[in-house]
Amino acid sequence: MMRRYLMTLRSASIQHQHNCGRTLRRFFRFLVNENILTVTPTVALPRLPRTVLPALTEDQVKTVLKHCDERDRAVVLTILDSGIRAGELCALNVSDVDLTTGAVFVRKGKSAKTRISYVGVHTRRAIGDYLAERQPRANEPLFPNKTTGTRLTVAGIVQLMERLREASGVDVLTAHALRRTFAITALRGGMDVHMLARLMGHADTQVLWRYLDIVDRDLKEAHARVRPVDQLLK
C-alpha cells in the first residue's frame, strides 16, 4: 500500500515525495510504539539531490542587524552564535543563558534531549542590553512576544524573519539559514565535526558532512588563488 501510494506521487517534486514518505514512516513508528503493529514497514524513499544552501555572508549579516531592534538583534545573534533551533530558542528562559560564561542550556531540544551550547561576547552583550531594558525574572521566557508578553513561538520567529527579510533585502534569511551559517562558519574556523554535532544537537555527524562540501570548495578556491608550483615555475 505504501509503495502504491508513493507511485501516485511520481509527478510531484522529489522533495514532496520524500516528505510524504517520511511522514508515513513516522506514522508507522507511532503504530509500533502503540503496539498496533509489530514492525515498521521499510520502503525506500526517493533520494534527494545532495545540495546545500549557502550561508549568509558577513555583509548580509551586518545588513540584517542594521534593521534589528534590541530584541531582534539578540534573537538573530543567539541563533547565529549558538546554532540552536528556532523551537529551542523559543523554549529558553532567562536563567538558561549564563551571561558570564556564555553557556546556553537547551533543556527542550530535539527528542527532548538536554545539551549546552555557547555564545560569545557580542551576543552576550546584545542579550544583556535587551534584558536590562526588560528586567525580567529568571524563570520568565528569554524572548517573549512584543505584543502579548507570552513566550515567543516558532510561528513568531518565522514572522520575525519575514519582517527582517523585507526590511533588509536579504532574501535568504531564515532561522535555519542562521543555524546553517553557524555550522559552516564553525567548520571554516576549524571546529571538529563531532564537537559541532554536539553543539547543534545532532545524534550523529551525517547531516554535517554536507557542509564539509562547502568547506572543501573553500580550500580548492584558496589553492587556485595561490597555485604554488605554477607561481614558482611560470
> Measuring CA to CA, which residue among 136, 100, 141, 138 is closest to residue 118?
100
pLDDT of residue 51: 66
Which parts of the chain sit beneath pLDDT 50?
none
pLDDT of residue 150: 94
pLDDT of residue 224: 75
pLDDT of residue 139: 94
Report d(CA 174, CA 170) in Å as an integer.
Answer: 10
Residue type, 133: E
pLDDT of residue 225: 72
Pair 183, 82: CB distance under 8 Å: no
pLDDT digits (tens, 9 = 90+) for 135-176: 899 999 999 999 999 999 999 999 999 999 999 999 999 999
All domains in the chain, ordered by first residue = 1-49 (no CATH), 58-212 (1.10.443.10)
Specify the pTM. 0.74
